[in-house]
Amino acid sequence: MTMWREKLEADKTAEELRGRNLEASGILEKLRHRIVAFEVTKLRSDETIEEMRRKELKVDHTLKGLRRRNLEASMAVEKLKCRNLEASKTVEDLKRKILEADIDKKKSDQMMQEMRRKQSHANQTINELRLQYLEASKAAEKLSRQNSEANRTVEELTRQNLEAHRALEELKRQGYEILPQSCLKIDHANEENAVHTDNNDITEINDSDDETNSSKADYSVDLWANLVSSISNPTNKRGRTDCVEFSHVAPQNKKSNFGSEKLWKRWMFGSDMLKAFQEDSELCLHAVCALYRYQIHASKSGQSSNGGAFHHFNEMRGRALAEYLINRDPELKLRRSVSEVEKQCPYVLKDCQMLATSYYEKLFMIYCNGDDPFFTSK
């Protein structure tokens, strides 16, 4: 019985254990399902975490870009602040300039009003000047008619002057024939008086239509006799020997004053020298060099510009021509021949002739005074 009871209890216990084992198996099955579900959830969570890590990296990269942009924006803001300060200063300057412009505008308006008043006054003055111009035009027409009459008078006087000049040339020719050809030195002041007397007498001779050639010859004898009588006073008031000399020197026996074998005759009057300038190109070259030497001497001696050889308008041209002609000669003498000048610069000959004829009075003075050793009668 006891055995039977123990067996029943053992069976009962076995049944309970089986039931519990089934329950445990069900629980284990549930647990397996849950473990599988957990593993699936874990895989999904890992994927989610990985995705979140990738997103976090992207977010970090985006944050870095935003921080960099924020820094750039801050720098741009600072620059804008600086520009804003500069713009503020510019605005202040513009305001100040606008105020100054307003003041200037007010002044301009006042000036415009003043100018309008002056314009009105000027218009009145113009009207008065127009009236004066009309009167002046009438006076000018009257003067023009008088000028025409004066021109006709000048032409008549010019014609008479030409006739007197021809008579003077004839008297000079007769004087050269009558006077003995010897070296005479005559006072310059007396020679000028004699020349004036000559011109006055020539006018009288020209006005006398019935005078014969023999009377002219007799008059020239008296004239040159008066000149010869001046020999007793060979120096002028300044103690300087005059240049008027009469001599005939053979070209083969004596050299010229200009440093060449050619010999120009000595001149009695400036008109003789002027005529020589019109006929002799080489003489004109020497004349320009002489004027240049005189100009240099006047500059060194401290004389005024009026004391020099050239006038103001011809000084640069005369200097250039002379420097070309002397060709760096230490004594400032002529070193170029007429043929050389004509070949290189043909216009120089004409310019030199024009200068020589323009300044023949100055050249004649230099020639007479003996100031230039290369252009003198001594």
pLDDT of residue 258: 40
Residue 172 confidence (pLDDT)? 61
Report helix, strand or coil for 257.
coil
pLDDT of residue 70: 92
pLDDT of 206 higher than 70: no
Residue 92 belongs to some domain of the structure: no
Q: Where are the alpha helices (DSSP H) in the chain?
A: 2-178, 188-207, 213-228, 270-279, 281-300, 312-326, 338-344, 346-358, 360-369
Provide the residue type at 187 as one letter: D
Q: Which residue has the higher pLDDT, 118 or 235?
A: 118
Mean pLDDT over each residue of the chain, to the nearest integer? 75
Per the structure, the count of domains in the chain is: 1
Give a yes or no: residue 48 inside a domain. Answer: no
Is-contact 363 286, C-beta < 8 A? no
What is the radius of gyration, based on Cα positions, of the chain?
A: 62
Q: Residue 220 — pLDDT band, cuts 50, 70, 90?
A: very low
Cα distances (angstroms) measured from residue 175 to each of 50, 171, 178, 283, 316: 143, 6, 5, 25, 42
Region 203-215: what's the mean pLDDT?
40
Q: Establish if 319 belongs to a structural domain.
A: yes
Domain range holding 374?
267-378
Mean pLDDT confidence for 148-155: 77
266 within 8 A of 377, measured Cβ to Cβ: yes
> pLDDT confidence of 213, banded at 50, 70, 90?
very low
How far is it, in rounded angstroms, from Cα 162 to Cα 164? 5
Least confident piece of the model among 13-22, 198-207, 260-269, 326-335: 198-207
For residue 313, pLDDT over 70 is answered with: no
- Most confident stretch, 133-137, 176-180, 223-227: 133-137
Encode pLDDT of 71-85 as tens digits: 999 999 999 999 999
In a domain, 332, yes or no: yes
Residue 65 placed within a domain: no
| Residue range 185-212: mean pLDDT, rounded | 41
Lowest mean pLDDT among 67-76, 237-246, 259-268, 342-351: 237-246
**154 has pLDDT over 60:** yes
Amino acid of residue 53? R
What's the length of the chain? 378
Does a structural domain hold residue 212? Answer: no
Residue 241, strand partner residues: 235
Does residue 354 have a pLDDT over 90? yes
pLDDT at position 288: 94
218-to-8, 212, 223, 225 alpha-carbon distances in Å: 211, 10, 9, 11
Q: Which of 233, 232, 283 has its CA nearest to residue 258?
A: 283
Q: Is the pLDDT of residue 270 over 50?
A: yes
Among 180, 195, 188, CA closest to 234: 188
Q: Please check whether residue 125 lies inside any domain of the structure.
A: no
Q: Which residue has the higher pLDDT, 249 or 296?
A: 296
Q: Are 271 and 264 in contact (CB under 8 A)?
A: no
More confident residue, 107 or 258: 107
More confident residue, 126 or 304: 126
Asked whether residue 361 is domain-assigned, the answer is: yes
Mean pLDDT of 114-143: 84
pLDDT for residue 315: 73
